Amino acid sequence: MGRIWLAISSFFLILFRGALPDDALAPLGLVRRAAPKAQTTTAAPTAARVSDGALQILSILQRDSRLVDFIMEDVTGYSDEQVGAAVRGLHDQARESLSRYVKLDPVIDGVEGTFTKPVVSDPAAVKFIGNVPAGKPSGGLLRHKGWRAGKIDLPALNPKQDAAIIAPAEIEIE
């Protein structure tokens, strides 16, 4: 194979197919690496249940900010001041904790209250409200930017641990 032909054909093969065919590898002195094995779902010794990730998030928010304690408490009897005092610290920590494990982005990165044309038409991602016409609307006022989980970075679950435990009971020895 001539050098010029090899150079030109490699260029176009990479451009259009994204890879070199096997017969073009040898003259370049290249060896194809074994493709990474597709992730097997049976890797975990005990199969993780679908809900485990959700429980993990709850457990993290409880651990770092005691969010579950707050939601489960009956706050009707307390003054706004008392609730506010408790919530301020909780809010800081819950926010810090959530943003560490889940990167939250808006679905539409615009200014709420301005005219917006959505690019996606998935009803799960963009919901039209108000006087929605019969056909597909082209745009409207952005009322809520929506939230999308960007990167999720949760620590691996311990297979030996019961994911249903959101917070351990605490026993103090005096």
Binding site for another protein (CB under 8 A): 63, 66, 69-70, 72-73, 75, 78, 82-83, 85-90, 155-158, 160-161, 172
Give how far the C-alpha of residue 137 lies from the chain's centroid of Cα atoms, to the nearest Å.
Answer: 29
As measured in angstroms, the least distance from the Cβ of 21 to another protein is 34
Task: State the number of CA atoms in the 13 A half-sphere of 26 facing the CB.
Answer: 3
CA angle 145, 71, 48 (to 5 degrees): 80
As measured in angstroms, the least distance from the Cβ of 160 to another protein is 6
As measured in angstroms, the least distance from the Cβ of 120 to another protein is 34
As measured in angstroms, the least distance from the Cβ of 8 to another protein is 37
- Between 62 and 118, name the residue whose CB sits nearer to another protein: 62
Beta bridge partners, 104, equal: 149
- Between 136 and 160, name the residue whose CB sits nearer to another protein: 160
In sequence order, the 6+-apart residues with CB closer than 8 A to the CB of 111 are 142
How far is Cα 97 from Cα 92, in angstroms, rounded to an integer?
9
Residue type, 100: R
